[in-house]
Amino acid sequence: MKTLRQLSVFAENKPGKIEKITKALADAGINILAISITTTTEGFGAIKFIVDNSNLALETLKQNGFTATLNEVLGIKLQDKPGGLYFVTHLLTKNNINIENAHVFVDGHREKAYLLVEVEDIEDVKDRLSREGLLFYPE
């Protein structure tokens, strides 16, 4: 199965962290397709990226001393019309799917948008949602 991999970088509450990470990725010629920042009230969190070359990105960040990891996420295709996001979230709720983290990602051709969700069992969720007629990334 083709999967979508998300790059997560540990971030404590220090100014300039995102700048340093994105510079390291830029220097390695990596294209960032989506970004999401999760912070807690305690002042630390994770910065999450979808990039065009996740293996190289992970390698680059580790070499630069960052604490990073790759994990799989599910990309759910969004319809390009009002209510498109609502339609998907409604189905998630209806199927009682618990989302640990979510953000939106627009594909490389800037044509299609996807809702990226972190769920415990990707295969199971994919299975249940495809029965509702939803499409995924990669297709």
Site for another protein in 59-78 (CB under 8 A): 65-71
Those residues with Cβ within 8 angstroms of residue 57's Cβ, 6 or more apart along the chain or in another chain: 7, 25, 28, 30, 49, 51
Which tokens go with 87? 């339609």
Site for another protein in 102-121 (CB under 8 A): 118
The one among 2, 15, 19, 42 contacting another protein by CB under 8 A: 42
Q: Min. distance of Cβ 3 from another protein in angstroms?
A: 14
Question: Is residue 40 involved in binding another protein (CB under 8 A)?
Answer: yes
Strands 32-39 vs 44-51: parallel, antiparallel or unpaired: antiparallel
Report which secondary-structure segment, H or E, holds 87: helix 84-94
Under the rule (CB under 8 A), what is the footprint of another protein?
6, 8, 10-12, 38-40, 42-46, 48, 65-71, 100-101, 118
